[in-house]
Amino acid sequence: KMSAVFLLLLVSTANVSAVLEKGLPRREPRRLSCVRCCGPSEQPVSIISSRYTRMSSDPAYSVPKVQPTIDITILKGEKGEMGEKGYPGAVGKEGERGLRGLNGRKGQKGQPGPQGHSCKQLYAAFSVGRRKPLHSSDYFQHVTFDTEFVNLYKHFNMFSGKFFCYVAGVYYFSLNVHTWNFKETYLHLMKNEKEVAILYAQPSDRSIMQSQSLMLDLQEGEEVWVRMFKRERENAIYSEESDVYIIFNGHLIKPAVE
């Protein structure tokens, strides 16, 4: 009996296998084929990355996007040193004039100035001339004058031929002479004992008018005068009794203390 049962089971199993083989379609073995997945300049994608791409495209396998936040204060470095000063830029356009400001406070009263001289006049002027010609006989020869046009307060001494400064300040002086034919003309305009300007004309067959002028800052007590300077040649200035060819002028422009 046991043998018969065993044989029956074998027959049944064989029949079932035959039925299953006839009912189910056979699957052909899958053949692998090469598929181009990237261009010549691209790198091949790994199997894991391609799988991740398929999974991420599928809604069932979508992965939530994560946006990390970075604390910038952690990455901020220390403050650097100040750089060198740059070149100045171009000058801008001049702005409009602003409104006039308020008046300032009145200042304190100043100290009184030095007491002036009750008899002193803050004016000085002279104009003198010479009608006689003059030849230099010495190395230095003082020039005097014989005609007085203007001599305010007698500051010019007609006897010595010198202007004496009574009022300190800035003065203007001018000297005009007439040269002599074939003779040299050489004069010094003097301040005290020092020459400060020269009037010169070379010898010529024609006589001419020659002039010199300058301004001087004088202190009280200083003197201004004219002298002739003789060299190898004869030195002379021309004039006539009927007319004046030699004139010396001076006047105060601005006193030192007003």
Q: What is the pLDDT along the chain (258 residues), one digit of tens a residue?
A: 555 555 565 555 555 455 445 555 555 555 555 555 555 555 555 555 555 555 555 555 566 676 777 666 666 677 888 888 888 888 888 888 888 888 888 887 776 666 555 556 689 999 999 999 988 877 888 999 999 999 999 999 999 999 999 999 999 999 999 988 888 898 999 999 999 999 988 888 888 899 999 999 999 999 999 999 877 778 889 888 888 999 999 999 999 986
Those residues whose C-beta lies under 8 Å from the C-beta of residue 175, and which sit 6 or more positions away, are: 187, 189, 199, 211, 212, 213, 226, 247, 248, 249
Residue 206 has what pLDDT? 84
Return d(Cα 176, Cα 161) in angstroms, integer. 15
For 156, list phi and psi in degrees, rounded to 5. -100, 125
Domain map of the chain by residue range?
A: 135-255
Return d(Cα 199, Cα 174) in angstroms, integer. 10
Residue 129 has what pLDDT? 95
Those residues whose C-beta lies under 8 Å from the C-beta of residue 81, and which sit 6 or more positions away, are: none
Those residues whose C-beta lies under 8 Å from the C-beta of residue 250, and which sit 6 or more positions away, are: 124, 125, 126, 127, 156, 163, 171, 172, 173, 174, 224
Residue 63 has what pLDDT? 61
Structure tokens at 59: 């809604």
- Coil, strand or helix: which one is 76? coil
Amino acid at 106: K
Residue 154 has what pLDDT? 92
CATH of 135-255, one of 3.30.930.10, 2.60.120.40, 2.40.10.10, 2.40.50.140: 2.60.120.40
Residue 226 has what pLDDT? 95
Closest CA to 174 of 200, 210, 146: 210
82 to 75, 77, 78, 89, 237: CA distances (angstroms): 21, 15, 13, 19, 78
Query: What is the model's pTM?
Result: 0.53
Q: b/e map of 179-201 (b: 16 or more CB within 10 Å)?
A: bbeebbbbbbbbbeeeeebebeb
138 to 141, 160, 198, 228: CA distances (angstroms): 6, 17, 18, 9
